[in-house]
Amino acid sequence: MPISSSPSSDAPSLADLLTRAEALLAGIEALLPVSNDAPDWEHTIACRWKKRKHGLVLNPSALEGRLIPVRSPHPVRLSDLAAIEEQKARIVANTRQFMEGRAANNVLLTGARGSGKSSLIKALLNEFADKGLRLIEVDKEDLADLADIIDLIADRPEKFILFCDDLSFEANDGAYKALKSALDGSIAAPPDNVLIYATSNRRHLIPEYFSENLETSRADSGEIHPGETTEEKVSLSERFGIWISFYPFSQDDYLAIVAHWLTAFGFSERAIKDMEREALNWALSRGSRSGRVAWQFALDLAGQSGASRKRQSGELSVACVGDMA
């Protein structure tokens, strides 16, 4: 009688084998000594919070976060940021209070794209790093880990800014609740060495709809008290103690920023004056007069002229005037 070559019905499936292998690895890892992944904060001024795979199967429970040092932090300086003097002074004052151990607020920077919101926070790091300031960038997808991040750094002697860039949430996005809790609402008191600085192109981080107006008696969804939904959405922005608004640049401001970067690239004052019309046409083609657009124009012009991205006082960096939002 021939032997059947068909697989036995009792044979484990590939999924079962993977599950057993992952369980075995998890058991082995539990017996291994825990590695010390903490950054050397004496020599590291900026980190990103990143999730990494843990085990064989990629699923939410198999991800763990860690602080990844940034090898080359953005070199932008406060002196590189033009046409935002009022905003610069406000956030520098708050950060100086924080560094000196005085009361300070979490900050929300909102407004026009490319106007310098993110770059301003990066410049603060370079301004205060030698005084003990450190920066941790946290993506919106990882906001649920804010409490864990704060626990890791709460007892450190350094001062930390948790940097959340380009924030906005959909109406059904639950990540904002973790941010609300970290700002003001957790049972744990916020440590004295941590602040949250966030940027967004919109002041109200969660979209609101006309049907949610407080005077509306019934929402389209049938909710009896739609005003309470609106209050819930507005309360996130209100938990930032300081709001700093950024506005589109005037033509003169835009040209001043162009002149700043062309000067850094070594162009003469006469050459810069002659290029103003070209700079305005560049902005017109991009539909925006922003610091980012000014930098991009200067970079393109310098490249055509054979200039490098170096300057005597240091290295020029992309988007030094405009943010990356």
Helices within the chain (DSSP H only): 14-31, 85-99, 117-128, 146-153, 175-183, 226-238, 251-264, 269-274, 276-286, 291-304
Q: What CATH number has the domain bearing residue 120?
A: 3.40.50.300
Domain final residue, candidates 246, 273, 302: 246
Q: What's the confidence (pLDDT) of residue 276?
A: 97
Q: What's the confidence (pLDDT) of residue 31?
A: 52
Q: Are residues 83 and 215 in the same domain?
A: yes
Reading the chain (325 residues) residue by residue, the pLDDT tens digits are 555 555 555 666 777 777 777 777 666 655 544 444 689 999 999 999 998 655 444 454 456 889 999 999 999 999 999 999 999 999 999 999 999 999 999 999 999 889 999 999 999 999 999 999 999 999 988 998 999 999 999 999 999 999 999 887 766 666 677 888 888 766 777 899 999 999 998 755 545 444 445 555 444 555 554 544 445 555 677 889 999 999 999 999 999 999 999 998 999 999 999 999 999 999 999 999 999 999 999 999 999 988 665 543 334 433 333 333 3
Helices within 185-250 (DSSP H only): 226-238
Q: What's the confidence (pLDDT) of residue 312?
A: 36
Q: Are residues 234 and 96 in the same domain?
A: yes
Q: What's the confidence (pLDDT) of residue 300?
A: 95
Domain final residue, candidates 246, 271, 294: 246
Q: How many domains does the chain have?
A: 2
Q: Are residues 106 and 136 in the same domain?
A: yes
Q: Are residues 126 and 216 in the same domain?
A: yes
Q: Are residues 107 and 184 in the same domain?
A: yes
Q: What's the confidence (pLDDT) of residue 310?
A: 53
Encode 293-302: b = buried (16+ Cβ within 10 Å), e = exposed.
Answer: bbbbbbbebb
Q: What's the confidence (pLDDT) of residue 38?
A: 83
Q: Are residues 265 and 287 in the same domain?
A: yes
Q: Are residues 210 and 261 in the same domain?
A: no
Domain of 263, in residue numbers: 251-315
